[in-house]
Structure 1
Amino acid sequence: MKYGRFPIGAMYGVIVLFMIYIFWMFLLNGVEHAPMVKGKMEDPHFSVSTWKWFFYPHILLGTISLAIGPFQLTKLNRENPSLHKMLGKVYAVAVFMNILMVPYLSLSATGGLGSSIAFLVLNFFWLWTTSIGVIKAAQRKIKDHKEWILRSYAITWVFVTFRIVIIPLSIFLDRTLAFPLAVYLGIGLNLLFIEWRNRKNKQLTNVKSKKLGY
């Protein structure tokens, strides 16, 4: 599946904006002053010092995963199999380590129990798609690997989609509905897009095969 310079550049543009948002919201003045974290601190059982040990790696690993994805789709990367393989391993390790962070973070998710369940569902999809993508690569089933690792990256991209979708939802809905709904919409929209791309790519491959007489 090939992507042009504009889509790759657009993805990196969004990733940069995402990083700026994270820095401004959580790191510039400290997480304790972020509105989302202030809400959590109202719970007497919430420990912000413990939460930080999971949140900071979660953000760092998520950013690494996001940043690797678009580069894996570039022509430069496709022409360097060893680089592609190395970055693929870094991506998988970053995702699997992050998956370990989510269960604890979900316990204090904004929006209550519904949000906690939604983030655990997201975590399941992340584990499922990435694991199959890695297995297919190990089996050298490259076509299947590409399809599944793109599904994995679609789940990774929920990092971004969630923060876009939550804005209008929070205006009209209570956070107990807005937050879990934003997670499910992020999963659904991202996977639908990837399935559309996968199907389109298969159609183009079939057309080329017919033209070549295969």
Structure 2
Amino acid sequence: MYLAKKNTSLFFRILLIIGFGYFFWLMLTITMEYIPFNTEVSFLMIKQTEVRQRPEYLSFFYVHVYTSILVLLFGFLAILRKDFGSKNFHRNAGKIYIFLILLLAAPSGIYMGIFANGGLYSKISFVILGCLWWFSTFKAYHLARQKKFKAHKQWMWRSFALTVSAITLRMWKVIIVYLFHPNPMDVYQIIAWLGWIPNFILIEYLITKKLI
């Protein structure tokens, strides 16, 4: 029984690594479109008003894009600490993850949320997402400093659930566009909320059931 449970856990762990690797690669290819600096590709093509009228917008955008891909990577490595080495590895990966979110990724994301496509509803969602992302990460950091590691782990999971909204948002976009063909601005209003709320509900359920 123990061996079967261990094998099942290993199987799902391998699936998790493969799945994350695939979606991380997709996110990396999106990020690479903006290297070197190019204001006329992909997402920036529909943000030319901000690019032209707000000189600081591009700085916040590039900070957010370049740091978020690293946040995804180091957050995942920190979570899979048992597979990648010692406690020091987990601690160092976690420090990078927390530093990038608190100082760069979340603040730049909140700023970009103010100018999100899709109108007021989208803006509210992305700003809330950015604030919750920053707060949950800071809470995890604060609890680790207090050596309350069980609570720290729970808040890190909450933080990472919001981190992967970068992936789930795009997944929902593909599904909604394929099934319903809505107006592009309507899509933004839907995925702005759908990208992170189900993640947060799922992680709360798992924490409540003590499954993580």
TM-score, normalised by the number of residues in structure 2? 0.81
Q: Please give the alpha-carbon distance, in whole angstroms, between the structure 1 residues aligned to 2:148 and 2:51.
A: 48
Does residue 54 of structure 1 match 2:63?
no
Give every structure 1 segment of 4 or more consecutive aligned residues whose post-TM-superposition deviation is greater than 6 Å: none
Q: Please give the alpha-carbon distance, in whole angstroms, between the structure 1 residues aligned to 2:144 and 2:18.
A: 26
Residue 212 of structure 1 is matched in structure 2 by none
What stretches of structure 1 of length at least 5 have no aligned partner?
Answer: 205-214
- Please tell me the residue identity of whatever aligns with 2:123: S
Match of 2:184 among 156, 175, 191: 175
Q: Which has the higher contact order (CA 8 A, sep 6+)?
A: 1
Matched pairs, number:
199
What stretches of structure 2 of length at least 5 have no aligned partner?
Answer: 1-8
Map 1:10-25; keep pairs closer than 5 Å.
10-24=19-33
Q: Please give the alpha-carbon distance, in whole angstroms, between the structure 1 residues aligned to 2:126 and 2:111.
A: 11
Residue 207 of structure 1 is matched in structure 2 by none
Map 1:93-132; keep pairs closer than 5 Å.
93-96=99-102, 97-132=104-139
Which has the larger displacement, 149-158 or 112-121?
Answer: 112-121
- Please tell me the residue identity of whatever aligns with 1:11: F
Q: Answer whether contact 1:99 1:123 (CA < 8 A) is retained.
A: yes
Match of 1:186 among 171, 184, 195: 195
CA RMSD of aligned residues (A): 2.7
Give the CA deviation at 1:91: 0.5
Q: Please give the alpha-carbon distance, in whole angstroms, between the structure 1 residues aligned to 2:206 and 2:50.
A: 47
CA 104–203 in structure 1, closer or farther in 2 if over 3 Å, else same: closer
Which has the larger displacement, 148-157 or 84-93?
Answer: 84-93
Does residue 133 of structure 1 match 2:140?
yes
Give the CA deviation at 1:88: 1.0
Identity %: 23
Q: Please give the alpha-carbon distance, in whole angstroms, between the structure 2 residues aligned to 1:154 and 1:113.
A: 24
Match of 2:205 among 176, 191, 196: 196
Q: Answer whether contact 1:99 1:126 (CA < 8 A) is retained.
A: yes
CA 14–165 in structure 1, closer or farther in 2 if over 3 Å, else same: same
- Please tell me the residue identity of whatever aligns with 1:23: M
Residue 87 of structure 2 is matched in structure 1 by 81
Give the CA deviation at 1:29: 8.7
> C-alpha deviations, 1:143-190, integer Å up to 9, x for none?
111111011000010111111212343453333332132121121221
